[in-house]
Amino acid sequence: MIARSQTDDTLRRIEEALQEADRAISPFVSGQVEVQFKSGDDPVTEADRVANQVLHDMLVREGEGWLSEESAEDFGRLEKKRVWIVDPLDGTREFAAGIPEWCISIGLVEEGRAIAGGIRNPATQETFLGSIERGLIYNGRAANCSGAKTLDSATVLASRSEVKRGEWKEFENRQFTVKPMGSVAYKLARVAAGLADATWTLCPKHEWDVAAGVALIEAAGGFAGKLDGTPLVFNNADCLLPNLIAGGAGLAKELSSFLKQRGTNGNGRAASNGGRAE
């Protein structure tokens, strides 16, 4: 177990890094930025790169590893006990389009478990900060996952890309409301703060897409894992996770059962977007 003083220091580092990255990218106006493409239709902007450098400079200390969407891979992280797993701007497509569903995402993993995280949405001025030791703080106040115990009238956040591709057709006209949204990290943060009841993905996502959000979910008393019920383990050589399910603890049993009954593939569906999270 991490000493409280170390946990407090970690959370301070995360919060300060989120604030500095927010300041650094403030000159870039959402909806008015130049977009480039790394491969295929995977977008990137200069704001992604600027935020990435700021986060790396502020977070990494001696003996700690680093994994980021916008950094060259360094497999030396596999030998590290503590690893920062970061998406400097999750939801680049939304950022470029002027949709306020993007965020800066910082996760800290220790021996494969996401133990602390911070997510900042500059467009909505929301900050989610938490650890498994200290719980979740949403915009300065303690928060928890939804207390819902049934899917009846629940709000489920879905990937806008998956909905657009028709992958959520099987969930239409159910007892819950499906709300499409960009940025998987932002969706997880909102579920952690009780602003929605659950979320799941049907195709692979990278560790940097979900590490921070999973830490926040667990900090807020919720559950997160793979669709087949197995736990999520981070800092792998192959950092692509097959899928994800997360929500308030009261929904864990019903939601898992519901997805299995619907015939959802526990190994995840092939992602036509190469695992890009939205």
Q: Taking the domains of the chain in order of start, what are their residue ranges?
A: 4-143, 155-261
The closest alpha carbon to 47, from 95, 14, 98, 117, belongs to 95
Give the mean model confidence (pLDDT) for residues 116-122. 98
Q: In the numeric block, which tokens belong to residue 175?
A: 């007892």
Mean pLDDT for 144-165 is 95
If you average pLDDT over every residue of the chain, what do you get? 91
Q: What per-residue confidence (pLDDT) applies to 35?
A: 87
Taken in order 256, 257, 260, 264, the sign of the CA dihedral is negative
Q: Which amino acid is at 2?
A: I
* Per-residue pLDDT at 131: 98
Query: pLDDT-based confidence at 202, cuts 50/70/90?
Result: confident
Measure Cα distances from 183 to 77, 90, 205, 215, 258 in Å: 25, 6, 11, 16, 24
- Counting every residue written for the chain, the total comes to 278
The pLDDT, as a whole number, for residue 214 is: 98
Q: Can you tell me the distance from the alpha carbon of 46 to that of 51, in angstroms, rounded to the nearest whole number? A: 9
pLDDT category of residue 274 using cuts at 50, 70 and 90:
very low
Is the pLDDT at 210 greater than 90, yes or no? Answer: yes
Q: C-alpha 178: how far from its chain's center?
A: 18
276 φ/ψ angles, rounded to the nearest 5 degrees: -65, 130
pLDDT (tens digit, 9 = 90+) per residue, 28-75?
A: 999 999 888 887 678 899 999 999 999 999 999 999 999 999 999 999
For domain 4-143, the CATH superfamily is Fructose-1,6-Bisphosphatase, subunit A, domain 1 (3.30.540.10)
Q: What is the pLDDT of residue 4?
A: 61
Instruction: Classify the C-alpha dihedral 45-207-55-133 as positive or negative.
Output: positive
Say what percent of the chain tops pLDDT 70: 92
Question: Which residue has better confidence, 202 or 120?
Answer: 120
Architecture of domain 155-261: 3-Layer(aba) Sandwich (3.40)
Residue 23 to residue 26: CA distance in whole angstroms: 5
**DSSP category for residue 110:** E
CA distance 177 to 201: 16
Identify the band that residue 267 occupies on the pLDDT scale cut at 50, 70 and 90: very low
Helix, strand, coil: what percent of the chain each, to 5?
Answer: 30, 30, 40
**pLDDT for residue 263:** 52
In eight-state DSSP terms, residue 26 is T
**CA dist., res. 118 & res. 104, Å (int):** 8
**Which of 277 and 206 is assigned the larger pLDDT?**
206
Question: Is 80 exceeded by the pLDDT of residue 278?
Answer: no
Q: How far apart are CA 140 and CA 36, in angstroms?
A: 35
**pLDDT at position 41, please?**
75
- Compare 226 and 41 and report the one with higher pLDDT: 226
pLDDT for 118: 98
How much is the pLDDT for 272? 39
Q: Which pLDDT score, from 0 to 100, does residue 143 have?
A: 98
The predicted structure's pLDDT at residue 266: 40
